[in-house]
Amino acid sequence: MIPASKFRTAGLAIILAWGWKRAALALAAGALSALAMAPINAWPVLFLTFPVAVWLIDGAGAGRWRGVPAAAMSGFWFGLGYFAAGLYWIGYAFLVDAPTFAWLMPFAVLGLPAYLALFTAAGFALARLLWTRDASRLLALAISLTVTEWLRGHLLSGFPWNSFGYALSEPLALAQDGFADRAMGHDVPHCGDLRQPGGPHRWKLARPKTLARAGGGAGAARRHGRVRRRPAVAAADAVQQGQAAHHAAQFAAGRQIHYAAKAEVMQKYLTLSDRASGPQSTGVRDAQILIWPESAFPFFLTREADAMAQIAELLPKGTVLITGSVRAPDLPAGVRITRAYNSIYVIDHDGNVLQVYDKLHLVPFGEYLPFQDWMEKLGFVQLTRVQGGFIPGTRRRPMEIPDAPRALPLICYEAIFPGDIAARDERPGWIINLTNDGWFGISTGPYQHLQAGAAARRRGGPAYSSCRQHRNFGGHRSVRTYCRTARPRH
């Protein structure tokens, strides 16, 4: 235990710090706070770093204009340390095509955290305006950061990544009681409500060995009977655990692939999909639903008859494939295709396309450029190098899948926006999130993606659901009926 006298002395030293020492303290406290995020999940560190934030705002009162500018600067340095330490992995994406994009890496690794730090600066400044001399100033800081975090998740298409409240999504006891949702300002039914059996939504998980994974994952729930804990656990074993399943997506994301590699890419997916995952497994013949990841094909899938025929030959009767793929827009014959949709297809055993979903929330600088035409004239291009950028979809709605509950499709970081996940009158039976995190290598980024998606789904997901997120760097996880997370199995 730290003696109270030393604790007070440290606090006083921080309050009286000024100039570069004050900036360094804020920067260090922010960087340490990033340890609370996935995959480290050292959430108790916030009990050390947030008192530093409080003392910095206390000390700002010595500055001009009620200390608001000084508090804002402290917030900026705190946010810069936090986001730079937490989002360093974004730089990996600029190394996939290093000759073209590597020079932009410093701007992304430092520029994005600097932009996000402006919201933390605003939060500290607003807190200073509401500041008091007693313990109620902690409430002022909490309210202020809630407001600015909400703004961060909405302005300029939003980027609610590594919200401070996500630190409380990993301890199961806190997440189970919905505390993490309240910490992020969520005012909808939380996980504590989801534990209550009965009511209008009663689910029984799908029978064993009805789901398969190849470079992806799926969870399903069947609307029948009572909620039971044993099937919720068994569902993790019902999914084929093909150990090499993630290699196909790594193959696509980790190197530049062109149309000439079509046969090689397809063969990898076909081989991995029908690979037995254990002595009792018979490959894809055990599966009711087979899932491939976010688009990794170097071609328009449904325009390649031979590829669709291979899929039809692979799938047993009654099995459907859910896969990501780029989709060409409907254009008159002879018109050159320059843009595309980032889509999800549901394909049956006859090779028929049953459902299509086009991604709505595109990634800035990844799938499109702000002021696209103007920036392209200046020579800029987004990471995916699609001229004109990807085309956004028009509507998200649950997909009808044979012999399964309706599924809500999400692609990549769409899963981190809880307000966009589902309309209240279109509640899905389960949620599927296809993503390609191979861009970011073996880093903390894919783990944070999973954490953010899980936290968002606890707000926007249905009452009883099993949600799987494909991660192509070596595993998958399920956000399960009782808001628990199943561990990856390799």
Active-site positions?
A: 294, 359, 412
Cross-strand bridge partners of residue 378: none
- Cβ–Cβ < 8 Å for 384, 394: no
Q: Supply the DSSP symbol for 400.
A: P
Q: In a 3-state reduction of DSSP, which class is residue 446?
A: helix
* Side chain identity, residue 5: S
Residue 392: asked if its preceding bond is cis (omega within 30°), the reply is no
**CA nearest to 473, candidates 432, 452, 444:** 444
Backbone angles phi, psi at 323, to 5 degrees: -140, 150
Quote the tokens at residue 51.
């008192």
Quote the tokens at residue 442.
């073996």
Question: Of all helices (H) and strands (E), which one includes residue 213?
Answer: strand 211-213
Q: How far apart are CA 25 and CA 17, in angstroms?
A: 9
Backbone angles phi, psi at 467, to 5 degrees: -115, 135
Radius of gyration of the chain (CA): 24
Strand order in 430-434's β-sheet? 407-411, 430-434, 467-471, 475-479, 485-486
Q: How far apart are CA 186 and CA 421, in angstroms?
A: 14
Quote the tokens at residue 367.
């799938």
Write the DSSP assignment of 226-251 as a string of letters. Answer: ---HHHHHHHHHHB---TTTTHHHHH
- Cβ–Cβ < 8 Å for 321, 301: no
Q: How far apart are CA 460 and CA 181, in angstroms?
A: 11
Q: Supply the DSSP symbol for 66.
A: G
